[in-house]
Structure 1
Amino acid sequence: MDLLLPRRCAGCSAPGEHLCPRCRERLRTPPRRISTRVDPHVPVWSFGPYADTHRRVVLAMKERRNLAVRRHLGAVLAAGIAALQARGELIDAPLLVPAPTRPRQARLRGGDPVADVCRASGLPVIRALRHAGRVVDQVGLGVEKRRENLAGAVELERVPGAPVLLVDDVATTGSTLAASSEVLFAAGCTVVGAIVICHA
């Protein structure tokens, strides 16, 4: 099979594995607290900047439909959450809530990549949020346009019955995290924070 469909590392394109040892080591860095341009109303942690290995892995799981790397990122997510709990930054064992994605984008990407990563973590997950139909792709939008695009456009699909941790792939301005946390807070939910694979 490797002759017909050779495996290449999602982080550096080295042949032989879905993620090579060097890229796994880079992704293993514990998450750290970051600030975003839009206040998300909760602490936000990131595994690294949107560059190099992190950027290529996110693009592989989203734009290249690399389903195998989503499983690897699930393990990274679980380890990162355990590190935050060990450091006392996350007290509760929260439900994971994937950030909403547009249904059409999920279909094109072979499923919702963030939800897939959450499920692959082995931690409890709930699909609590969805996008209203009028949301447009946010690539290329500035801070204000992102806020306008998401204003009233994130809807509650179901109410979580426990404290939740928001999960997304990339925090660019914080607009998606802010809109998501606002909807959850309005429903009386406890949001303990948000964690992203990388931040721009």
Structure 2
Amino acid sequence: MLDLMLPLECGGCGAPSTRWCPACATELRTRAAHPQVVAPRLDPGVPVLALGRYAGARRNAIIAVKEHGRADLVAPLAQTLRIGLDQLLTWGLIETPLTIVAAPTRAWSARRRGGDPVARVASAAAADRAGVTVTRALRLTGFARDSVGLSSSQRQRNLEGRVRVARPVAGAVILVDDVVTTGATARESVRALRGAGIAVQAVLALASA
């Protein structure tokens, strides 16, 4: 009866009566343990890695958090990110002390979504992790359009010169984003961070499109 009044469904596959099903959890955990190097069309100048393709349960969960207010899915996405971070640390690609910088988002988008979803996932992933901190050091200035539907050159022009470092960051940094597509956001973010004298080790995305 409760399911009829307040229906629950898995944020990854739509299975009824559960917020996050075991099959989707296993899919994300397994792939997160093997971060893949990807090559976006716009090279940010540092290694870019993704924890899976922007498809299936991963895509649905990211959209549910960003566009439908499914705050309950922050935890499984954060677990996925933490597994990926641990693997990069094991490989020696990144090292602690480490600062995770969340990719910038438009202020009005963050307000509409009840907060910055990338920063929320990153903060949950780094919780109680020794030597890892999270900061929203980047912000967008001026007018930047929504990137959905834009070509790689349009995305680059849309963000060019609009990413700014809002606060100082010490030590090594990894940039974290939800989805890497053309690489425009990563490229401008890395450019801004390096321009402020900040060492960026890599870009890590929950998914690549």
Residue 2 of structure 1 and its aligned partner are, at CA, apart by: 4.7
Which SS does the other structure have where 2:134 is aligned?
coil
TM-score of the superposition, structure 2-length normalised?
Answer: 0.91
Are residue 140 (structure 1) and residue 141 (structure 2) matched?
no
Number of the residue aligned with 1:14? 15
Are residue 159 (structure 1) and residue 168 (structure 2) matched?
yes
Structure 1 segment 1-200 matched on structure 2, within 5 A: 2=3, 4-28=5-29, 29=31, 30=33, 31-121=35-125, 122=127, 123-200=132-209
More off after superposition, 91-100 vs 184-193: 91-100
Letter paired with 1:39:
D
Question: Does structure 1 retain, via aligned residues, the 8 Å contact 2:97–2:171?
Answer: no
Which SS does the other structure have where 2:188 is aligned?
helix
Residue 179 of structure 1 and its aligned partner are, at CA, apart by: 0.2
Q: What runs of 5+ residues in structure 2 fail to find an aligned partner?
A: none
Which SS does the other structure have where 1:140 is aligned?
coil
Which SS does the other structure have where 2:135 is aligned?
coil
Question: Does structure 2 retain, via aligned residues, the 8 Å contact 1:71–1:116?
Answer: no
Residues 48/162 of structure 1: CA separation in 2 closer, same or farther (3 Å cut):
same
Aligned equivalents of 2:63, 2:97: Cα separation in 1: 29
Residues 2/162 of structure 1: CA separation in 2 closer, same or farther (3 Å cut):
farther
Letter paired with 1:140:
G
Aligned equivalents of 1:162, 1:72: Cα separation in 2: 28
Which SS does the other structure have where 2:68 is aligned?
coil
Q: What runs of 5+ residues in structure 1 fail to find an aligned partner?
A: none
Aligned equivalents of 1:93, 1:76: Cα separation in 2: 20
Letter paired with 1:15:
P
Residue 7 of structure 1 and its aligned partner are, at CA, apart by: 2.4
Over the residues paired in the alignment, what is the CA RMSD in angstroms?
Answer: 1.3
Residue 176 of structure 1 and its aligned partner are, at CA, apart by: 0.1
Aligned equivalents of 2:60, 2:185: Cα separation in 1: 21
Residue 184 of structure 1 and its aligned partner are, at CA, apart by: 0.3
Residue 187 of structure 1 and its aligned partner are, at CA, apart by: 0.4
Question: Does structure 2 retain, via aligned residues, the 8 Å contact 1:23–1:53?
Answer: yes
- The alignment covers a number of residue pairs equal to 200
Residue 132 of structure 1 and its aligned partner are, at CA, apart by: 0.7
